[in-house]
Amino acid sequence: MLTGSIEWWNHIASVWEEKGDYRDRPDEYTMIASMLSGSVLEIGCGFGTFAKYLPEDCYYTGVDISVAMISKAWTGNEGDEHKTFLVGDIRHMDWPSKFDFTVCMQTLEHFTDPDLVAVMERIVSLTEKALLFSVPREPKTAHLDHQQEWLTEDCLLATFSQWGKTTILPTPPEDKHWVGVIQFSEETK
């Protein structure tokens, strides 16, 4: 089974579910959710945990390549007509309109350099206002499936500033994640 493949992510979903690990980061998710309104696209939504933190006025679409994770996301968010979960690869999906915001919570580190560029270009084309993201603040060797690492703020800004005004939000020093916002402008679209 190839690390990062659809089969691998479906396997990871069963491992995480067995452990009761639903990738919940309440402080981080609350902070990011408080900045959102309107239509929200989450790429790599996993079990749909972040969706539970959204304000009621958000119209949310979560996308993941793992059928197992999307199945669990639907189960965990039953009855909420403002939430939709889809299986797919964002780079190859068509959308009838743009989203106000895109969110990537612990997702971008899983892409190789060329794939990260393709994903970011796709995000820019699908998003009106901003990308809100969370990525690890640790070496990629700490996780088998990580392809990227951003150990310093300068490194993170160098990667993401090409797509828009990038701001790193304050998080506690013990937090192992960078949290940031990339605001898109007409020049970056």
Q: In the block, which residue shows the tokens 């993401």?
A: 160
In the prediction, which pLDDT does 5 show?
A: 84
CB 100: neighbour CB atoms within 10 A? Answer: 16
Least confident range of 31-45, 70-84, 135-149, 155-169: 135-149
In the prediction, which pLDDT does 139 show?
A: 86
| H helix and E strand count, the chain | 5, 7
Tell me which residue of 30, 25, 101 sits closest to 62, measured CA to CA: 101
pTM of the model: 0.92
In the prediction, which pLDDT does 44 show?
A: 95
In the prediction, which pLDDT does 172 show?
A: 84
In the prediction, which pLDDT does 103 show?
A: 98
Task: Kindly report the average pLDDT of the chain as a whole number.
Answer: 91
Please state, in angstroms and rounded to a whole number, the distance separating the CA atoms of residues 176 and 171.
9
Reply yes or no on whether the pLDDT at 188 is more than 70. Answer: no
Strand ranges (DSSP E) for 88-155?
99-105, 127-136
| Domains with residue ranges and CATH for the chain | 6-19+26-188 (3.40.50.150)
Q: What is the DSSP letter of 170?
A: P
Please state, in angstroms and rounded to a whole number, the distance separating the CA atoms of residues 41 and 105.
11
Please state, in angstroms and rounded to a whole number, the distance separating the CA atoms of residues 116 and 37.
26
Q: Are strands 39-43 and 99-105 parallel, antiparallel or unpaired?
A: parallel
Q: Is 25 helix (H, G, I), strand (E, B) or coil?
A: coil
Q: For the residues 135-156, what does the mean pLDDT come to?
A: 87
Please state, in angstroms and rounded to a whole number, the distance separating the CA atoms of residues 48 and 33.
13
Q: In the block, which residue shows the tokens 């690492």?
A: 149
Cβ atoms of 104 and 42 closer than 8 Å: yes
Reply yes or no on whether the pLDDT at 23 is more than 70. Answer: yes
Q: What is the pLDDT of residues 74-125, one digit of tens each?
A: 988 888 889 999 999 999 999 989 999 999 999 999 998 999 999 999 999 9
Q: Are strands 59-64 and 39-43 parallel, antiparallel or unpaired?
A: parallel
In the prediction, which pLDDT does 187 show?
A: 66
Q: For the residues 139-161, what does the mean pLDDT come to?
A: 89
Reply yes or no on whether the pLDDT at 189 is more than 60. Answer: no
Cβ atoms of 116 and 170 closer than 8 Å: no
Angle between helix axes 67-76 and 6-19 (nearest 10 degrees) is 40
